[in-house]
Amino acid sequence: MGGLFLKFSLDNVETEMSLEEFLKSEYDGYVLKPKEEVEHLDQEDDYGNVEYKLKLVHPNQERIEQLTTQMKFRLQEGNGEAKYVIGVEDDGTPKGLSFQEMYRSLSKNFIV
């Protein structure tokens, strides 16, 4: 996998790790919940700083340009902060992603 690194602060402790390491720590020990136990979100709002994305696995250049425009809009709506909920359809239905799909989706988001 690629060499994307995350730098973040958790409980006032600066941490740096690869995207792959971060996702492995999040997926480690994860147990798939039955469909009826998964929280269904409200439908995505066309305005505001929250964007739902099912996945971004193989976007072409045109799609990357659309995503960039969309991200700029969400950043403007949120005064510099945008929140992306990955693995969720626009109607709020959570679908989830495999480790590989999540890794590819997040690494594509960093390209935008």
Specify the number of domains making up the chain.
Answer: 1
* Measured distance CA(77)–CA(48) in Å, rounded: 5
Nearest in space to 87 (alpha carbons), one of 99, 69, 70: 99
> Tell me: the pLDDT tens digits for 24-52?
888 887 777 777 788 889 999 999 999 99
Q: Is the pLDDT of residue 72 over 80?
A: yes
111 — pLDDT class (breaks 50, 70, 90) = low
Domain that includes residue 18, residue range: 5-33+40-111
112 — pLDDT class (breaks 50, 70, 90) = low
Percent of the chain with pLDDT over 90: 31
